[in-house]
């Protein structure tokens, strides 16, 4: 049987109820023991890389997970499953896809409900992840297994606060779906990989969590001025401007971008759930004007994914030109 290594990071799937609110408490071994059916698909090994709520994740824990993935593969694992909190699960999956290049399937999963809650999705999600991690066709690359579906790390986003089918891939759909008996592949897994690989030391367990690049997000919307961007420029290493539509901003924010690009990398994303960013409109905050100022565009990446890429590229020491070239 194939060997699948499970890397625990905490999250709802590892949480237990408490008087002051649920919190991660279960180790990876407990998760595996709670789903005996996984033994039908693989021999399991387990490592704990952290025990964090998804909303409290930092790049230090993500780097520990990346190190555990690389170590597991070096020790002969045929696939790796990472358990994680759902709030930032898509961020971590994408970070691993960018900086953790290994020749086996890596599948990230979690749950919306704890093991002790009625109708828990934890057992099914863990089982689906292990099944996916045993299939060579999902390698290389990182995927997310949730609600009987497999999504590409690059495309998947959390879309609902508590629904069990929260993870979706707007604009592309899942890579595969799972039934009790089989796996149905809907699109080429090779095309679901990230569009660029970053140096492995972009996620290094030797680096303190506070040493990662500082990249805030500034949102555009009705009546937004440039003051928010002006306030963060001095303390940031880069910034993501979440625009509207195709990647446009208000006039005052566009003027602030013109000043900011002389000092740091500015990446423009869209607050829309699907579709690319494109330079079409003029005026002070339109995409053509922003492009002429020298911004990079996030393409079809979500704002959160664009921020993850920018953080890791800058942390890895890529030059400004090389960093911006990783975007579309």
Catalytic residues: 86
As a whole number of angstroms, the distance between CA 85 and CA 14 comes to 8
Q: 28: how many CB neighbours lie within 10 A of its CB?
A: 25
Of the candidates 307, 313, 323, which has an alpha carbon nearest to the alpha carbon of residue 219? 307
Note whether 192 and 155 are within 8 A (CB): yes
As a whole number of angstroms, the distance between CA 260 and CA 168 comes to 34
* Peptide bond just before 140 cis, omega within 30 deg: yes
Q: 218: helix, coil or strand? A: strand
Q: What is the DSSP string of 185-200?
A: E-S-GGGGS-S----G
As a whole number of angstroms, the distance between CA 53 and CA 51 comes to 7
Q: What is the DSSP string of 83-148?
A: E--GGGHHHHHHHHHHH---SS-EEEE--SS-TTSTT-SHHHHHHHHHHHHT-GGG-SSEEEEETT
As a whole number of angstroms, the distance between CA 235 and CA 206 comes to 24
Phi, psi (deg, nearest 5) at residue 228: -65, -45
């Amino acid at each position: 049987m194939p060997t699948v290594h499970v890397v625990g990071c905490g999250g709802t799937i590892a949480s237990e109820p408490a008087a002051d609110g649920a919190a991660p408490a279960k180790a990876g071994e407990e998760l595996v023991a709670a789903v005996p059916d996984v033994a039908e698909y693989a021999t399991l090994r387990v490592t704990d890389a952290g025990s964090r709520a998804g909303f409290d994740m930092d790049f230090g824990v993500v780097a520990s997970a990346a190190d555990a993935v690389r170590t597991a593969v070096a020790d002969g694992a045929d696939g790796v499953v990472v358990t994680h909190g759902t709030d930032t699960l898509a961020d971590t999956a994408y970070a691993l896809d960018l900086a953790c290049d290994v020749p086996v399937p890596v599948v990230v999963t979690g749950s919306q409900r704890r093991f002790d809650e009625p109708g828990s999705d934890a057992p099914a999600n863990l089982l689906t992840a292990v099944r996916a991690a045993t299939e060579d066709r999902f390698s290389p690359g990182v995927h997310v297994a949730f609600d009987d579906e497999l999504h590409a790390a690059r495309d998947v986003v959390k879309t609902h606060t508590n629904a069990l089918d929260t993870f979706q891939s707007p604009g592309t759909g899942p890579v595969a779906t799972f039934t009790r008996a089989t796996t149905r592949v809907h699109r080429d897994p090779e095309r679901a990989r990230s569009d660029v690989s970053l140096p492995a030391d972009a996620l290094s367990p030797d680096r303190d969590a506070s040493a990662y690049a500082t990249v805030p997000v500034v949102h555009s919307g009705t009546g937004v001025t440039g003051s928010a961007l002006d306030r963060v420029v001095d303390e940031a290493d880069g910034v993501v401007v979440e625009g509207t539509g195709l990647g446009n901003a208000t006039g005052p924010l566009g003027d602030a971008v013109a000043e900011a690009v002389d000092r740091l990398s500015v990446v423009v994303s869209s607050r829309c759930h699907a579709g690319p960013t494109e330079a079409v409109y003029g005026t002070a905050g339109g995409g053509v004007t922003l492009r002429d100022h020298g911004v990079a565009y996030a393409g079809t990446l979500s704002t959160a994914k664009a921020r993850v890429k920018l953080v890791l590229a800058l942390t890895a020491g890529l030059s400004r030109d090389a960093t911006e070239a990783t975007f579309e």
